[in-house]
Amino acid sequence: MRSYPNTRLRRTRAHAWSRAMVRETVLTPADLIWPLFVTDGQGVEDPVGSLPGVSRWSVDGIAARAKEAVELGIPCIALFPNTQAHLRSEKGDEALNPDNLMCRAIRAVRDACGSDIGILTDVALDPYTTHGQDGLVGDAGYVANDDTVAVLVDQALNQAEAGADIIAPSDMMDGRVKAIRMALEMGGHPNVQIMSYAAKYASAFYGPFRDAVGSGGRLVGDKKTYQMDSANASEALAEVALDIAEGADSVMVKPGLAYLDIIWRVKERFEVPVFAYQVSGEYALIEAGAAAGAGDRDALLMEKLIAFKRAGCSGVLTYHAPVAARLLHG
């Protein structure tokens, strides 16, 4: 058994080179996915008030951000549209438009960057509906599962046809991964990946995101009938198991920091890549805390990102991706 003074655990902490040499967890720009918000227009940068430092970008700006990501070594961007009010409908029909904001942004990124970057696209109806729910709402106000899945399949195919590399269904409908996987296979897109939002919780940390995509003020009711209860852990493992069986190539836990135990359990149980989404509320709290003098912004964000990796993440979706990548480049 180790004992003092034969063992002094501080020995390897005495110098920076030694700390680096024995570091157990390493974060690189390749571990980051950068979420980006798309808006209408040309040459538009529209700051999101509740997300300091984050903007909605017109399609040309998204292409420029994608080039920036390539230069920084960030391997993938995630796209989320802020659909104009007049294009939203009760059934989210704009999600199926092959020339919608999402599809135009996908094509612009592909034209600008070729295959140098991955494009992850969100599949859910909340950016397209007038009621802000992720699916089709029935007469009783309940989001209809199977009818919604049928629309999500068409939405996923629409994005794949535009050039998406990773389809990321965030809706939490039962059975949607299998339906999308089968449609991609039959539709000639066998190499398009599915990153399932397998354990997505009904969280209080999503507010700024909903502002960014324009669904927050529209939301009628809540999403607790399909997003998970924050008190449940075993249920998350059941969700992940189902999505893997249905064809998910990787899975996501959302939000991130408040659910590190879920990330760890998923990583220990399943042999698939696990990702975390450091969501908008988590990002905003770092920025607000730093602005209030509670800590150094860069140190806070890097410590949180390394926590995701330590818990078992293959990667992290974070609005801090370009900041973190620059810090990692030194």
Question: What is the rounded CA–CA span in Å between residue 20 and residue 13?
Answer: 9
Residue 171 makes CB contacts below 8 A (sequence gap 6+) with 123, 124, 125, 134, 135, 148, 152, 197, 226
Dihedral sign computed on CA atoms, order 311, 286, 210, 55: negative
Instruction: Exactly one of 91, 200, 267, 304 is catalytic; name it.
Output: 200
Cα pseudo-dihedral 280, 285, 290, 295, rounded to 10: -120
Name the 3-class secondary structure at 48: coil
Residue 315 makes CB contacts below 8 A (sequence gap 6+) with 30, 31, 32, 33, 76, 273, 275
Q: Tokens at residue 106, please?
A: 């996908």
CB 54 within 8 A of CB 319: yes
Q: Tokens at residue 38, please?
A: 């798309």
The DSSP bridge partners found for residue 252 are 275
200 is catalytic: yes
DSSP secondary structure letter of residue 203: -
CB 157 within 8 A of CB 149: no
CB-count exposure of residue 102 (10 Å: 0-12, 13-18, 19+) = buried
267 is catalytic: no
Instruction: Exactly one of 254, 267, 304, 309 is catalytic; name it.
Output: 254
**Nearest of 325, 328, 327, 330 to residue 32 by alpha carbon:** 325
Pairing of the two strands 55-57 and 45-47 = antiparallel
The DSSP bridge partners found for residue 34 are 77
Question: What is the rounded CA–CA span in Å between residue 58 and residue 46?
Answer: 9
Active-site residue numbers? 200, 254
